[in-house]
Structure 1
Amino acid sequence: MTGRADLRLGITDVAPVVSCGSFSARAVVGEHVPITATVFREGHDAVAANVVWTPPGGGGAAALNRMTRFGDQPDRWLTTVVPDREGMWTFRIEAWSDPLATWRHAVEVKIEAGQGPEDLANDLEEGARLLDRVAAEADDEWRGRVADAAAALRDESQELTVRVAPALATGLQRYLHEHPVRELITATPDHEVWVDRPRALFGSWYEFFPRSEGPVVAGQPVHGTFVTAADRLPAIADMGFDVVYLPPIHPIGKVNRKGPNTVQFPGGNPNELGADDVGSPWAIGSDEGGHDAVHPQLGTLQDFQDFVWRAGELGLEVALDLALQAAPDHPWVKEHPEWFTAKPDGTIAYAENPPKKYQDIYPVNFDNDPEGIYAEVLRVVRHWMNAGVRIFRVDNPHTKPLNFWHWLIWEVKKTDPDVLFLAEAFTRPAMMHQLAKLGFTQSYTYFTWRTERTELEVYGRELAANSHYMRPNFFVNTPDILHESLQYGGPPMFKIRAVLASMMSPTWGVYSGYELFEHVAVRPGSEEYLDSEKYQLRPRDWAGAEASGRSLAPYLRRLNEIRRAHPALQQLRTLRFHHVDNPNLICFTKTDPGSADAVLVVVSLDSRHAQIGTTALDLPTLGLDWHERFTVVDELTGARYDWGQFNYVELDPYREPAHIFSITFHRPVQPPPPVD
């Protein structure tokens, strides 16, 4: 036998539930989390439902959290809960027969049909008995009123309407709604919701290489340190970013080190390496140390901790790369050769993504001595946690076993629930989703390659629908990915992609150089940068670019200001797309369930030509009727417009490729229920 045929009342399609309860759903502190279920029963008697929402560690009895019907399906029920602390919360649905609602409906229908007190004699007594049950448990303030209503139902000296009036009074009905008579209570099992701190959902990331933040002496760049890199932090904070992400900061392997523009030569690097070639930070480990060490040219562990402290002083968190691989001269290779894969000739297999070869990297084989590898990785993670790191950007997690990540993440969360893990997994959808389900806090996504309106809308809806476990981080570029739209789209395309990323996703990020419109690829058809910073120092003239007006930094600052000012933009669940009669324009809204805040965005996807179109807004998703008008204010230009369902739009990419409208409603608006 399968299923729950023993349930007295019907409860199905409970959400949020991940993989039939195999993993916990996800939320953040303060987030409005919709809980839904299909609830029904046999016959015509009324049914109702509530949610039992329990904090970490349990807690005392809470007020009845009743669900209400919503949507087009008559049996679909909803309530919203708001967690106020981190940790593992649980919820269960309780369905129950609602005799008070059944009684009220029957009495109202019979009276409307003209039936008299003789016809309703049994109904009146049944109502009185139900009220007796409520009065027995009512508080002092309401006990008398409930008892009086029961007495009125039994008072045969009064007319029918007078007898039922106290029981049907609005105030008493409100009290009965909050203190119902529940029969045939049927409960689901407990379902888990892991609640993270708010940064797990909302934040703006900035990636840069500290080693490129050194001086240029006699035309030659000098390797930067954590001390010199700290000088860059105020500018990053001024642009409104919340998280500074650093590539690996560990000693870099000296064996098979890759030189500048290695990507041109997938079989290796034929260039003669110079003494100053710095290699790839992802080729971790040398005789100077491994994953728990700091590259000597960057400074000391204390220098890193001072860097983290300075970032925190500016309101920035530091995210550190966790790349579980080793250079040929990493201490692991000498001390634990069994942690790697040996070829038939006895040599250790280096990393390959045919036809590319990465002779400077040995992948770890997690099937060899898993106990030892697991313990070492946890030690390394805790080492950097102790140094002040609370966010890890995990490199290529899809190339490591799933059960390892599940173990590591939750082992850390047991003691440090505030630690976050970002999965850098540009891989098959099933793997990306599974990594999110098993515990990764955020995920890199396919956003970088979604450029047409239809594919952006389809992907945005998919992410919003799966927001109960998969939180996206929309990076516009990375050291590995310079999309062709940026290579050939000109400066307006940099604005377009930044608006899309920062407005569609509550978390977004840029890789250093984006604000300088860096767009030259190593060769046609490649997404790799020319003179990639992965293999060489790349100092930039930040001040000169901004002084000359050749910097996108002010625009990025404004986008982040708008994001911080509007709670609607800090949401994912409420993302909704609206029709525009021009495929080169995309329109979407976000609302905040906790307030009346709403933002409407219209973006041109064409960086070369002006585009015009007419929107057809789905106003009910904003809590409005189809005919209503409202005021919009463009957060980029300050312009104000009176809008309704249909609105003319004209966007010129060389002036401004987007509208970011805050919405002022002409009346109080309750946010609509979520799309189920």
Structure 2
Amino acid sequence: MSGRLGIDDVSPVVSAGRYPAKAVVGEHIPVEATVWREGHDKLAATVTWRGPNDRVARQTRMHEVGIGLDRWGATVVPDHEGAWTFRIDAWSDPWGTWNHAVEVKIAAGQGPGDLANDLELGALLLDRVARRPDRRQERALLMSAAEALRDEDRPLNERVAPALADDVQKIMFEHPVRELITKGKTHKIWCDRRKAAFGSWYEFFPRSTGGIDETGQAVHGTFATATKELDRVAAMGFDVVYFPPIHPVGRVNRKGPNNTLVAGPQDCGSPWAIGADEGGHDAIAPELGTIEDFDALVERAHELGLEVALDFALQCAPDHPWVLKHPEWFTTRPDGTIAYAENPPKKYQDIYPINFDLDPQGLYHEVLRVMLHWAEHGVRIFRVDNPHTKPPDFWQWLIWKVKEVYPDTLFLSEAFTRPARLYGLAKLGFTQSYTYFTWRTSKQELIEFGEDLRDHWDEARPNLFVNTPDILHESLQHGGPGMFGLRAALAATLSPSWGVYSGYELFEHEAVKPGSEEYLNSEKYQLRPRDYARALADGRSLEPWLRKLNHIRKAHPALQQMRTLKFQHIENDALVAFSKRDPETGDTVVVVVSLDPNNAQEGTLYLDLPELGFDWHERVIAHDEVTGETWDWGQANYVRLEPWRATAHVVSLQRRFS
């Protein structure tokens, strides 16, 4: 800060400005600061902000937030991707000081003689603005108000009235006299495209799309069969289709079904055991097809409004080409063998982790080459496997190097780890992060979890996956179809981004053993073809509910927000309620979800109506997007959820006009 006035506690600022805050194109970003000064004169503040294509900085005047808090705020809306900057400028506001002084002195009964200096000071301020070259159109109006202040023949109220009129006040507010200008520090915001904040992800294994042959055996799928599956994914309203690794699978120490140590000749192994004679991270498993087949899949996805996300797992099978060419990129044990990956009690004999100690530069540039290779083939979203097991400075270097070439590239961090690592990786540049959503099941856990996500929105964007190939939570193992429905409702409405791993819509819930979160017959180790059409025809599919949730999300801008999340009080621990509001359109949605998958639950919902844009005693139209019902709601409202009918209310609130 340089200047006389105080500027403190600026937001959004991440780690004292060390890293850029996050935003997306069109997002309404609240900028705030504590601005203060000595004495009683008025002050004001402005956000000065600049985008990547701006030759001249933009300015937005701030307003006071609260009463007596010296807190000032404004909203900025970036309109281009890339690096933005902003700073807070504080300044003495002589016109605001004059307004206040004149009003209180007149109210105290002071006359023209007492106010002589004040009246002349006001006229001088009007003169200063009127003489500006860019104020020619308003000059006559301002000069007339100044003349009135100086006209001693008029009564006091007539002398002051023109200067206090709305049209003059508007000019003096929008084109103020600024003194003692104090400039704050410049802060950074990185603005991504909209999908960085709002999207619906669907994960499936292309190799499981081959169906079953006449002998009842699973047939290995290809990019061609996977392309046919895209229509179903798009019809459910998803806009990102995410594939596990599509590279050659290692043959050395290949795993068999259910993670067994011995694979048979027909076993396909884990796609995360990357690399074989056919190539490594820049190659395609020959069973899936060719790079031309992959390009055709990407093109078809785009035609359907889908974007392809690829898994980026920085690890190798023992027969990956890197192992022979660059043994220095791995950890050699005292007996001369290369160490495989372990996460006790889990062992991954088919995977060698990367070691960054001996040749970081060589490894960095090879990984960058690989990632740019896939970007050149139309991939602009990467889901990164276990980033918390790699050096943080590597990710910061890699992400921003990729963005130098393809600034629209997005990175999802699979950081199921401690908060410092999760948020630390997000600060370094990861666009989105997996979260602890899977393990947050009680009402209080969900409230604390949701508020934490909201409060970290400037540095970390959540993507709530209801399940993954690695995680089958016990709630899904034992909760029945109702649990699948309510968890989907929570994920799809709590966060602007959410995800589903295939099989969820079929209520797949069997664990490999009691107490485990691993699936029985896990798709990580074997083909798992599914007959979605038959399940849908038989009424044993969650597809209609997933489709409805995605439709509601796209129809309501409120559900595409995170900053406006607010939990509402409801008198039942088996029900959780929260609201969201879109600051641009005013779209307002209240969500009530039952946490009981089997029994009806009811309670009284108390709404903070002013927080939602209404008066405390106002009656509003409440339309449930799930059932189609419409109710008359106020501050207190009775709600009831029956899981066999609906596990959630997603209620749109609208003002009632008479």
TM-score, shorter chain, exceeding 0.5 = yes
Matches within 5 A, 1:462-473: 462-473=452-463
Whole-angstrom CA distance in 2 between matches of 1:194 and 1:478: 29
- Secondary structure of 1:261 counterpart: helix
Q: Which residue of 2 aligns with 1:110?
A: 105
Q: Residue type of the partner of 2:245?
A: P
Report the counterpart of residue 322 of structure 1 in structure 2: 312
- Give distance in 2, aligned partners of 1:30 and 1:667: 30
SS in 2 for 1:78: strand
Partners of 1:586 and 1:175 lie apart in 2 by 48
Choose from 151, 174, 177 the match for 1:178. 174
Question: Does residue 595 of structure 1 match 2:585?
Answer: yes
What are the equivalent positions in structure 2 for 1:451-600 lying under 5 Å apart? 451-600=441-590
AA in 2 matched with 1:436? A
1:280 equivalenced with 2:277 (yes/no)? no
1:368 aligns with 2:358: yes
Unaligned runs of 5+ in 1: 263-268, 669-676
2:230 to 220, 230, 233: 233
Task: Give 2:121's aligned amino acid.
Answer: E
Alignment of 1:255-274 (within 5 A): 255-262=252-259, 269-270=260-261, 272-274=262-264
Partner Cα distance (2:492, 2:520) in 1: 26
- 1:100 paired with 2:90, answer no
Deviation of the 1:61 alpha carbon: 4.8
2:197 is equivalent to residue 201 of structure 1: yes
Q: Which residue of 1 aligns with 2:368?
A: 378
Secondary structure class of the residue paired with 2:131: helix
CA positional deviation for 1:71: 3.1
Task: State how 1:418-437 maps to structure 2 within 5 Å.
Answer: 418-437=408-427
Pairs within 5 Å for 1:274-313 = 274-313=264-303
Q: Match for 2:403 among 406, 413, 429?
A: 413
Q: Paired residue for 1:60? A: 56
Q: What code does the residue aligned with 1:162 have?
A: E
Structure 2 counterpart of 1:233, which letter? L
Paired residue for 1:247, among 234, 239, 244? 244
Paired AA for residue 242 in structure 2: Y
Cα drift, residue 414 of structure 1 = 1.4
Tell me which amino acid in the other structure corresponds to 1:328. P
Q: Secondary structure at the match of 2:30?
A: strand
Q: Which runs of 4 or more aligned residues in structure 1 lie more than 3 Å from their structure 2 counterparts after TM superposition?
A: none
Change (3 A) 1:210 1:570: same
1:553, 1:57 → 2: CA distance? 43
Structure 2 match to 1:83: 78
Rounded Cα–Cα distance in structure 2 between residues aligned with 1:72 and 1:530: 59
Give the TM-score normalised by structure 2: 0.99
SS in 2 for 1:508: strand
Q: Is the 8 A contact 2:9 2:34 kept in 1?
A: yes
Whole-angstrom distance in 1 between the partners of 2:329 and 2:431? 27
Root mean square deviation, CA, Å: 1.1
User: What SS does the corresponding residue of 1:632 show, helix, strand or coil?
Assistant: strand
Q: How many residues align?
A: 656
Alpha-carbon distance in 2 for matches of 1:426, 1:143: 63
Q: Could you tell me how far 1:277 is from its partner in structure 2?
A: 0.5
Listed one character per residue, the Cα deviations across residues 216-250 of structure 1 (whole Å, up to 9, x for unaligned) are 11110010000011111000000000000000000
Contact 2:263 2:269 in 1 (8 A): no
How far apart are residue 215 of structure 1 and its match? 2.4
Deviation at 1:131, TM superposition (A): 1.0
For 1:344 and 1:61, locate their aligned partners in 2 and report how far apart those are by CA, in whole Å: 60
Which residue in the other structure is 2:152 paired with? Answer: 156
Whether the aligned pair in 1 keeps the contact of 2:25 and 2:193 (CA below 8 Å) is: yes
Quote the Cα distance in structure 1 between the aligned partners of 2:395 and 2:230.
Answer: 31
In the other structure, the counterpart of 1:71 is 66
Paired AA for residue 31 in structure 2: I
The residue identity in structure 2 corresponding to 1:152 is A
SS of residue matched to 2:286: coil
Residue in 2 that maps onto 1:674: none
1:638 alignment partner AA: G
Deviation (angstroms), 1:72: 5.3
Which amino acid in 2 is paired with 1:247? P
Deviation at 1:626, TM superposition (A): 1.5
Shift of 1:60: 2.0
Q: Secondary structure at the match of 1:79?
A: strand
Aligned to 1:47: 43
1:120 is matched with 115
Structure 1 distance, partners of 2:655, 2:36, is 37
- Give the counterpart letter for 1:249 in structure 2: I
Question: Residues of 2 paired with 1:370 and 1:634: CA distance?
Answer: 55
Tell me the secondary structure at the aligned position of residue 373 of structure 1.
helix
Query: Over residues 59-117 of structure 1, what are the superposed CA-to-partner deviations in whole Å (9 max), with x where a residue is unaligned?
Result: 2254x410001235521111001111100011110000000000010001111111100
Q: Which residue of 1 aligns with 2:654?
A: 664
Shift of 1:629: 1.1
Deviations 1:630-659 (A, max 9, x none): 011110111000001111111111221111
TM-score of the pair, normalised by structure 1: 0.96
Counterpart of 1:519 in structure 2: which amino acid?
H
Q: CA separation in 2, counterparts of 1:201 and 1:161? A: 54
**Is 1:610 matched up with 2:600?**
yes
Q: What secondary structure sits across from 1:641 in the alignment? A: strand
Q: Find the aligned partners of 1:428 and 1:558 in 2 and give their Cα distance.
A: 34
Report the CA distance shift for 1:73/1:246 in structure 2 as closer, same or farther (over 3 A): farther
Does residue 1:169 correspond to 2:165, yes or no?
Answer: yes
**What CA deviation, in whole Å up to 9, does each residue of 1:13-35 have, x standing for no partner?**
10000000000001000111110
User: What residue in structure 2 maps to residue 673 of structure 1?
Assistant: none
Which residue does the alignment assign to 1:671? none
Give me the whole-angstrom Cα distance separating, in 1, the residues matched to 2:57 and 2:348: 58
Task: Name the SS for the 2:374 alignment partner.
Answer: helix
C-alpha offsets along residues 149-183 of structure 1, whole Å, 9 cap, x if unaligned? 11111111111111111111011101110011000
Q: State the alpha-carbon separation in 2 of the partners of residues 18 and 69 from structure 1.
A: 23
Separation of aligned partners in 2, 1:7 and 1:641: 56
Equivalent position amino acid for 2:177 in 1: V
Question: Where in structure 2 are there 5+ consecutive unaligned residues?
Answer: none
Q: Within 2, Cα distance between the matches of 1:329 and 1:245?
A: 26
Q: Give the structure 2 partner of residue 449 of structure 1.
A: 439
1:402 corresponds to 2:404: no
Residues 509 and 72 of structure 1: CA distance in aligned 2, closer, same or farther (over 3 Å): farther
CA-CA distance at 1:148 after TM superposition: 1.1
The answer as to 2:20 corresponding to 1:24 is: yes
Q: For the residues of structure 2 that align with 1:170 and 1:463, how far apart are their CA atoms?
A: 42
Q: Distance in 1 between matches of 2:3 and 2:321?
A: 59
Q: Distance in 1 between matches of 2:388 and 2:142?
A: 62
Shift of 1:616: 1.2
